[in-house]
Structure 1
Amino acid sequence: MNATKYLTSKYPTMKYLTAPLAALTLGSALALGAVAPAAVAAPVAIPGALHAAPQGVANVVELGNGDNGDTVKVAAGDRIEVRLNGSSGNGNTLAWTEPAATDGGVLQRTSGGTAPDGSAWAAFTAQRDGSSQITAFQHCVPTPGHVCPKLVLLWKVSVEVG
């Protein structure tokens, strides 16, 4: 049984819009070309730091689960807010890691965190012209007595500042 069929049989409320997934150990940092689940839990309450753009910020770009694989263009000084919703079912939670930028000189993370429901968030400020990616990984967190698949999903957005 391929990974997509396995996940949809274990988590019938979730729909995956992806090509077949590759099985990875949780500690692996290999990149997958997978798309995050389309059906997600209700939005998590985000700390106030993400709700108001700092004075002097030209634009705020909001990204979420459905933006996986996208490329966005912003100007230096713009703010990027990422909110990824986790999901749960059958005794397991699909939890996101805190979003991170691949080039902190281009995108500086100003806040971020994770929640017990599997959600994660982060805010970034575009510092200078260049390119960076924002990535997060989703993995299964079992409750006692349950077993998770050894699977990691990648969420990635490319950001071009200039």
Structure 2
Amino acid sequence: MKAVRCLVAPLAAVLALTAGSASAEAPAKRVVLTKADAGRALEVSPGTDIEVRLARYYDKPRTYTWDVPQTSDAVVLRRAEGRTTPEGSASAVFHAKNEGVATISVTRKCRPDSGHICPLIIVPWKAKVEVK
């Protein structure tokens, strides 16, 4: 009987500590999108952060750079931050505020090396986000 009492007290203490942390609010979810996610459709819940990370890349003799990612509907997805780097990478974080559908889009630009030209092709990067 004495052994049972020795085990019950620590168990009760652990349960009391974990019960308090279970009621704490869960941290916001974060989804990260990259160049490979072009054309992706995703579903998120309100409160989710969507981070877009697009690295500039070099395809001899051209460098491809990105503009700052944009949202088609700021009521659904509010951009919390967005920037480009001097070398041409881009990033942004969007916060899913309200239910609905919005598209995150970015334009890619070509910068040719000296003596070369860029093709006259525009390849947009887009991701469709449904918040529900």
TM-score by length of 1: 0.61
| Runs (5+) with no aligned partner, structure 2 | 1-24
- 1: CA distance between counterparts of 2:54 and 2:64? 11
Find the structure with the greater CA-based Rg: 2
More helix per residue: 2
**CA RMSD, Structure 1 to Structure 2 (Å):** 1.8
- In the TM superposition, residue 69 of structure 1 has moved relative to its aligned partner by 1.1
Helix, strand or coil at the partner of 1:69: coil
- In the TM superposition, residue 85 of structure 1 has moved relative to its aligned partner by 1.5
Say if 2:57 is the partner of 1:87: yes
How many percent identity over aligned positions? Answer: 38
Cα deviation digits, residues 106-152 of structure 1 (max 9, x gap)? 00001111123331110000110010010111120124433212221
TM-score by length of 2: 0.74
- 2: CA distance between counterparts of 1:57 and 1:96? 30
1:150 aligned to which of 111, 117, 120: 120
TM-aligned CA distance change 1:116 to 1:146, over 3 Å? farther
| Runs (5+) with no aligned partner, structure 1 | 1-54
- In the TM superposition, residue 92 of structure 1 has moved relative to its aligned partner by 2.3
User: 1:71·1:158 contact (CA, 8 Å) conserved in 2?
Assistant: yes
Helix, strand or coil at the partner of 1:66: helix
Q: What residue number does 2:98 align with?
A: 128
More strand per residue: 2
Q: When the two structures are aligned, how many residues end up with a matched partner?
A: 108
- In the TM superposition, residue 100 of structure 1 has moved relative to its aligned partner by 0.6
User: 1:87·1:117 contact (CA, 8 Å) conserved in 2?
Assistant: no
- 2: CA distance between counterparts of 1:97 and 1:103? 18
- 2: CA distance between counterparts of 1:58 and 1:150? 41
